[in-house]
Amino acid sequence: MNPSEMSFYQPDHDAFRVSVREFVQREISPFYLEWEEQHLVDRTAFAAAGAAGVLGTRVEEAYGGGGTDDYRFRFIVAEELASAGAASYSAGLAVQEDIVIPYVMELGSEEQKRRWLPGLTSGNQLGAIAMTEPGAGSDLQGTRTTAVRDGDEWLISGQKTFITNGIQSDTIVVLARTNPDAGSRGFSLFVVEAGDSGFSRGRKLDKIGLVAQDTAELFFEKVRVGRDRLLGEEGNGLRYLMERLPLERLSIAVAALCSAEAAYGWARDYVFERQAFSQDVGDFQTVRFTLAEIETELEVTRAYVEAATLKLNRGSLTAVDAAKAKWWASELQQRVINRSLQLFGGYGYMLEYPIARAYRDARIQTIYGGTTEIMKEIIGRDIAARAKRR
């Protein structure tokens, strides 16, 4: 499949792809295995993305961005990074681009946007979002981190875990409970900066996959912040999170699809390069059937994810649409990569092959951003509500 031949993309997207591919070949691929060995992507890779125009595509030009509210450009970045097998870098970039930047861009005051967006868009500052806690993952109303008023300031106390970009982040969007008696309206968002007194980082977490991607524990011990650090309105934290989950989940679905397509491409090429019993492995019927099944599933899934992307562009992507895309694409990713690795035989188990790294890196996709089970619950509730209205 060649995405540039699909009507989903226009000539300006194709031109952007050329620049992204050159960026990946120049700034990412030569260093990626080194980052895997050191278990950390160099910060310079994010600054390089900003300089190349790969980061901040949806940010207004006044703050240093590309000024285009078209998620297809981000789709292209995900495709090119997946083709290069750079999952750890892609995950960190996605948090910066699809979560942190939109929160500041959409909720920040003019002063806040001028303070944080240029650095985030250039990649000279790294962003993180601190939602998950040791006892609160998908159930954000179980958040125990608090922000207590102290005059015109707030004191933030608590612990967060599994935070992407946590070790190297400069700008952290933090969910905290501001009113224990207000139910879902008792939460607010704050921005904590790396140099704030009382803020500290725990260990860099050792994961099954995405080993070069920075994931950490964060600690807040009476971190004092002014009113200028409150993002949006007090009490609307959970609502803001819910409103932006469709983009986050679509981002995961896009990454999952792109990773699966890349794995399939490697396997398809491999089976027609390798011979067994005096013929190409790809000429065995069982292998051809496997290829046929995978390619069909990928094309059907791409149609749905592309449609969801266009809905996002129009502002009509619902939480249910995004949940469907997220669970289906991420589960598809597991199946496709597993079957593709099988076609490599023993070589598929060697980490020097990108298919092995993709197999290891894919496992988190059905967990973060809301597990498959949570996605099905969201969809199921919607089905029940619609059925009961009849």
- Distance between CA 46 and CA 50 in Å, rounded? 6
3-state secondary structure of 146: strand
Q: Report whether 162 contacts 205 (CB < 8 A).
A: yes
What ranges in the chain are assigned the alpha helix state H? Answer: 11-23, 32-38, 44-51, 72-83, 87-95, 101-107, 110-122, 237-271, 285-314, 319-343, 354-362, 372-388
Which residues neighbour 22 within 8 Å (Cβ) at sequence distance 6 or greater?
A: none
Whether residue 138 contacts residue 374, with contact meaning beta carbons closer than 8 Å, is answered with yes
DSSP 8-state assignment for residue 5: G
Q: Given the structure tokens 């595509």, which residue do they identify?
A: 57
| Residue among 190, 266, 255, 246 nearest 375 (CA) | 246
Helix, strand, coil fractions of the chain, as percent rounded to 5 = 55, 15, 25
Catalytic residue among 248, 297, 299, 306: 248
Cβ–Cβ under 8 Å, residues 332 and 260? yes
- Cα 237 from Cα 231, distance rounded (Å): 9
Helix, coil or strand: residue 37: helix
On whether the CB atoms of residues 320 and 355 are closer than 8 A, the answer is no
Is-catalytic flag, 306?
no
Distance CA 375, CA 362 (A): 18
Measured distance CA(166)–CA(151) in Å, rounded = 29
Separation of alpha carbons 118 and 122, rounded Å: 6
CA end-to-end span of the chain, whole Å?
42
Estimate to the nearest angstrom the gap between the alpha carbon of 261 and the chain centroid. Answer: 17
Active site residues per annotation: 248
